[in-house]
Every structure is written in C-alpha cells, then in structure tokens.
A and B are shown apart, each in its own frame.
Chain A
C-alpha cells in the first residue's frame, strides 16, 4: 500500500549567473522547455548541489517574472479569456524590462512568452517616428544625414568602402560646421587670404627658410589632390617644386641642402596623418556621383582647401604671429610634428 503524502511537493533547483540558487515547484519549472529538457536529459536540478545552471541572460529578477508566468499558465482550467487578460497585464512593464525579459525568455526557449513580448514591443515601435524609437530604446544615432537619405547602397559591400564613406561624410559635416562658424567672420576671411599670400611672397622673397616649405606644401596639397591618380607623393613633391615657380627656386640650393631631409620628413608625416582624409576626398569625388550639383561641389572643393590649410594651423598661427610681431624671429614649437629640430628653422 503506497502512502501518499499530498504535502510533499518536488522542487527543482535553479541557479542564475550571479550564483544564487532558488528552488521552484516542479510543475512550474517544467513549464519551461529548457528546464524540462535539462531535467530529463541530465537529471540535474534535483538538489541544491546539482542545480540547473540557467543561461546568462536570466538574472534573478527576470527569473522571478518568468516563473510567475509559468505558474499561471501551467495551471489547467484557465479559460482563454483569463489567459489573455493575464498576458495583457503581464506585459505592462517598462521597455527596458521587456527587452530583458525577451532575451531571457528566448534563452529559455519559451516560445509563447517570446511571441507575447515581441508583440508588445512591436506595438511600442509601431507608429513612432525614428527619433522616438531611438529615444525609447536608447539606440545611438550614428548614421549621417547622407546615409539616411541615401537609398540603401552598399548592400553586403566592402566594409572599408562604408567606413570611408562615413569618414568622408563626417569630414563634410565638420567642414560645414566650420563653415558656419566662419561665416561669422566672412569679411575677415577674405582679408586673411591676401595677407597670407602677400606674406608668403614676402617670406619667400625674404627669408627662404622652411616656411617656404610650408607654402609649397600647401600648394602641393592642392595639386596632390588633383593629381593623385597619376602621381606618387614623391613625384608630387618634385612637381610642385617646379610648379611653385620662381619662389622656391631661387632658394633651391639653400633649401635643398638645408631643409630637404626635413621637408621630406615633414611631408611624409603630414601625408601619413592626412592620407586617409585626402584619400577620402579623392575617392569620393572621382567615384561617386552623389548627386551634388556643381555649385555645392565647388563649395566642397573650397572647403577641402580650407581644411588642408586648417591642418597647417600651427603654421598659420606662427605666420600671423610673425606678422604681428613684426618679423621677430622666435623659436616656436612645431606642434604638429613635435620635432624640436624643425623649430630651428622657424627663425
């Protein structure tokens, strides 16, 4: 004669990733397919020492919710209406909790719960604008304006291409921002140019030091951009040397002897820091017809020039300072390269 003790329930032991172990009534735990499989296949869960290790996504709080769900649903005798009402109440959680719950339910292979929460999330997403959706789920807005407007190109394409596109777009954004900032000082800009040109000719006519290098470098930059396809960096250097015409030539001798190694060094360094962006400009201008009208393209070209000059900000500042200080020779740190030896030539 078997003695049946109704108060004896069997429990299953579950362990969450934080190490805490809890015991759950068997019929409740077995409602979850993953636990059910673990019990039947490995026999675990029967005691505290052999607790079933739950997947990583299941923390104690989420486990509590899931077990509540199991507890209600495994009881027979609920009408469809009752189940529905319970489900509707169950998903009245904040969005973050819903997402956590969804990940946990998925790792526990609870399909009906996954469907329920997915439907709830879909209802949250539906009808919202993208901005609202980003806010609700804290999705970072890392697409550029261009990318948002672009029809989806680059499907399954080279990730480098996409990276370059993004860099290009970022640069353009920066340029536009700087453009906006500079618009305030439009008049000054115009003024700025000429003094620099005059200054350069003055410098070239006067000192013949490595400042000249910088000048030619600027021009080289512009040329480089256009002639990139055909020429290598070294060729550029040579060419632009020639193109620079009268100014450096008269001092070529001096410059060559004194500054050529430096110049080469400087040019190389500069090219290494800016190759990517330069490459970007080239790549995109040649390759991609991004539907910009010529006017905007010119604008961008101008910006690129501006940008190139901005890269040489230190020089500009130096130059201006020299101007304002009235040709006072000073030793200024050459910040771009941190090469103190170059500073000698700032003189």
Chain B
C-alpha cells in the first residue's frame, strides 16, 4: 500500500468520515485543522457534535481571564459554524451564569439541537432561559446546577427520551409536568433534590434513577420500567415526616412495575420502603426481576427485613442478590423477634433460580445469621455465597464462620466464600 510521497492521503476522504475523525478530537484540535490547507479551512465548520469544556482554552491563574477566553472561543466558533448542531455539551467550572450562555442557547434552539448537556460553575446557579424550552427537538437533556422555570405555555418536550437533572432548583409540580409532558421519556435521573415529593407518570419509562432526599415517591404509571436505582438520603431528624406519609410506600413505589429486571436500593431505601408496610397484602410478582442490590439494610429493624423478604419472595426468577448490612453489632445483640424466623416466616418458599448471593458488612447479628440461614435452606441451585465481614468486626469473625458452616444447605453445589480483609 505504498503511496507516492507527497500525495495527500487524507483530504480526499468523504466529508462524513472527516467529520467522524474531527468529532473524536478535542474541539480545539478540530478547529486548528482549519489552517492545514485551503481545503481544510472549513471542514470543521459543519461538525454536528460539539463538546466544550475547560480544556478548550489555555488556562490562566486569573479566573476571569480564562472565563473570557472560553466565552470568546465558543462565541466565535458558533458564529462561524454552518449547518445544524445535534449535540452540544458545555461542561465548565470557570463559567458562571452569564448572558452569553443564554445567547448560545438561543442560537442552538435555532439549529435543531437534539442532545444538550449543560454544566456550569457552582457559585451562581444558571437560570435556564426560556429559549431552552423552545428546543422542541430535544431527545436528551442533562442539566447540572441550574434553575428551571419554564414559561406557562410550555407543554413538554415531545421527543425527549433521556432526562437527567442534577442539583436543579425547580418546583415539584414543574418536574411532574415535565415528566408527563415528555411521552417518549425512557430514562429519568434525578439527583440531589431536597425533599421532593414526586408522582411519576411516564408510559415509556424504562430506566429510573433517583438520588437525594425524597419525601414521597409514587410511580403511578410506569408499566415498562426495567431498571430502578434509588439512593435515599435522610438526616436523622427527617425520619418523622417519613412516617407521616400515607399508604404503603412499597406499593406506591414498586406496585406497578411488572417488567422490573434490576433493582438497586441504597442508603435508606429499605427503610423508606418499610414505612406503611403491611404483611399479608397480596404482592405483585416480579417475574423478570433478576438482580436485587440492597445496601445498608438494617437488620435490627424487623420491618426492613420484611421488605427484603417480600422482595425476594415476589421474584421467582431472581438470580443474584447483593445485600450489605448496616447493623451495629453491639446494639443488636439483644435482638427481639427472633422467633419470627421459626414461626411467622413464610415456609415452603423456594428460591428456584437464586445462584449468587453476596453479603457484605456482615456483623454477625442474630437476624443477619437467620437471614443467611433462610437463604441457604431455600436455594436449591445456589452456587456461590460470598460473605464479607464488616471492618469493625474483629473477634466475631470466627463465630460467624462457625455458624455459617452449620447451616443446612439446600444446594449441593453451594460454596460459601468468606472474604478476608479486602484492603
């Protein structure tokens, strides 16, 4: 494949390929190709995917100078740009809310923007201008540190499929209306909200991620939900408002998700779910649920254990279970309700597909051990149970091992792996 030396090997490639190559370069390098030769002068100007960040300009010690340089660079770039812009990402620490960003958004709204990511500096939260809500072709919107206040005539983004709001200051009704107004929404991520009470109506939603302090989540209509990931933060004083919310949180949250395949609950999730829980209600079966990850489950609270049990028992096709415990060994040594496991615990329930169990932060408290016993007894196809003791458990480890060894195992293949001192 020898080329005569001096023959241009790249300029004659189709423009579509050159755009692919330029898109994979940092935008600064892409613009610099304009002085390679006369034919390269405007090859960069029709790029449809633009990513601007603080690396676009050389950085000075003076923050204002860097900010100005960045603003100039982006403004000049957009001014010289030709054709539609489909993806625009602005991720900067230096740039604060400024009228320039508003202008850029106005410009983008006229260029048929489809995917927008906006993350600006954190001193002054950027107030999204109304032209953002005029970008009706948006399919993906990601906003960080932003204030959203849509105009009254805003009906939602009819093409939006992916919505990610982090640290966004917005009224709760606005979010609900926004979600309802995006009928095609498939993925929703809400992070770092304060005291948000949310009712979600999203017929096409498949992926839901929530992180923050939520007062009340009701998944009213989310029939296609496949993956749910919730991290519920809570300060200790806020446990009371939790108690006051009406109805059973479990049902409100997981009552209408028959297609669920993966569930991840972190921090206070199980506690949240346990509120209003009534044993004996006919549960929904999660036929497709294959993976359950529950972190910081407190095995001192009977209610939380019930929640876990209900989840496991409602998932006949569960294959993997990961649980981390947040029990305090000292406090839980006088455990109550231990007879639950012998008397009230549902019997004859086989976890027919459970293959892997991972338990971490195990303290060896009675309820934890009973739970493991329960799992071992009822999992005929179990292959691996890996146990990672909590870092504060020093002398109890051997007891835990001894107890575990005693437990009857329904599965002949089951291996109990005790992981030591993972540094």
Task: Please give the residue numbers on chain A whose beta carbons come within 8 Å of chain B beta carbons, in ascending order.
Answer: 61-62, 94-97, 99-100, 102-103, 106, 114-115, 118-119, 121-122, 125-127, 130, 133-134, 137-143, 147-148, 151-152, 155-156
Contact = CB atoms under 8 A, between A and B. Distances in A.
Interface of B: 1-3, 5-11, 13-14, 16-17, 20-22, 24-26, 29, 32-38, 40-42, 45, 76, 80, 82
Contact of B13 (A62, A102, A138): A102
Contacts of A127: 29
A142 B22 CA distance: 21
Contacts of B14: 103, 106
Contact of A152 (B7, B13, B41): B41
Given A126-B26, A155-B82, A143 B1 contact: no
Contact of B35 (A95, A96, A103, A143): A143
Main secondary structure of the interface of B (DSSP, over half): loop
B3 A96 contact: yes
B218 to A, nearest CB: 39
B29 A140 contact: no
Contact of B17 (A97, A118, A139): A118
B191 to A, nearest CB: 29
A140 B76 CA distance: 27
A197 to B, nearest CB: 43
B45 to A, nearest CB: 7
Contacts of A118: 17, 20-21, 24
Contacts of A141: 36-37
A114 B11 CA distance: 16
A66 B21 CA distance: 19
B45 A155 contact: yes
Main secondary structure of the interface of A (DSSP, over half): helix
B1 A130 contact: no
Contacts of B2: 96
Nearest to B14: A106
- In order of increasing CB-CB distance, the 9 nearest A-B pairs are A122-B24, A137-B10, A99-B9, A118-B20, A96-B3, A97-B1, A118-B21, A148-B35, A139-B37
A329 to B, nearest CB: 51
B381 to A, nearest CB: 25
Nearest to A111: B20
Question: Residue among B17, B33, B82 with the most chain A CB within 10 A?
Answer: B17
22 contacts: A62-B1, A96-B1, A97-B1, A99-B13, A100-B9, A118-B20, A118-B21, A118-B24, A121-B10, A122-B21, A122-B25, A127-B29, A133-B36, A137-B8, A138-B7, A138-B8, A139-B8, A142-B38, A143-B35, A147-B35, A151-B76, A156-B82
B40 to A, nearest CB: 7
A340 to B, nearest CB: 42
A157 B41 CA distance: 13
A168 to B, nearest CB: 15
Contacts of B37: 134, 139-143
A130 B32 contact: yes
